[in-house]
A and B are shown apart, each in its own frame.
Chain A
Amino acid sequence: DVKVTQSSRYLVKRTGEKVFLECVQDMDHENMFWYRQDPGLGLRLIYFSYDVKMKEKGDIPEGYSVSREKKERFSLILESASTNQTSMYLCASSLDPSGPNTGELFFGEGSRLTVL
């Protein structure tokens, strides 16, 4: 089974702190994604990566950056956390090298971040 592991399930940070969210997948997937989930808004794409050291902006990249130094690991960075970044963050991976058009994304369990 594909496993996507997010290092922190729950985090509480203060405004202005730097936050790292780590994600590791064990199925040699090319593509990795970071989403945030907010009530009524569904899942919104922050950043994605098709390959090591490659990154592309999603729909809501402002206030975030990412790093993909190894194929299995994709990190989301909040340089200076703000209260409007309080959310559930979901990492996902997929195999299709041309993107997720054939469907299936494999998600981690999520990281719930609270910024005070």
Chain B
Amino acid sequence: DQQVKQNSPSLSVQEGRISILNCDYTNSMFDYFLWYKKYPAEGPTFLISISSIKDKNEDGRFTVFLNKSAKHLSLHIVPSQPGDSAVYFCAASGENAGNMLTFGGGTRLMVKP
């Protein structure tokens, strides 16, 4: 049973528009959430994170929103650029969840010029 789920395996967006990637989790012990980005033939790289004490964290074009009551987080990319085309993984961890990162299945984002 996957504790972190990304229900959309792929997403296609026009350049300049907003990309919204969603992630749901089931373990209430998770208190720290991260997004990783992965290009083909490369390892994932850290993108942005959020602690459960916050509901929003912003870094340039990337914003992560956390809704603890719904156990849902989302990554917004505005404006989307072709170079953002990659697979995005949501991950979660918690001191009371063993401190290990649990990853979602990933969403492939395609930004069309």
Binding site for B on A (CB under 8 A): 4, 9, 35, 40-45, 48, 58, 90, 92, 98-110
Contacts and interface: CB of A to CB of B under 8 A. Distances in A.
B73 to A, nearest CB: 14
Interface in B20-51: 32, 34, 36, 41-46, 49
B1 to A, nearest CB: 11
A109 B103 contact: no
B86 interface: no
Contact of B89 (A42, A102, A103, A104): A42
Given A40-B105, A101-B93, A105-B46, A45 B100 contact: yes
A42 B4 contact: yes
Interface residues of B, number: 27
A45 B2 CA distance: 13
Given A45-B100, A100-B99, A105-B46, A110 B41 contact: yes
A7 B9 CA distance: 30
Contact of A58 (B42, B95, B100): B100
A41 B46 CA distance: 19
Contacts of A105: 36, 44, 46, 101
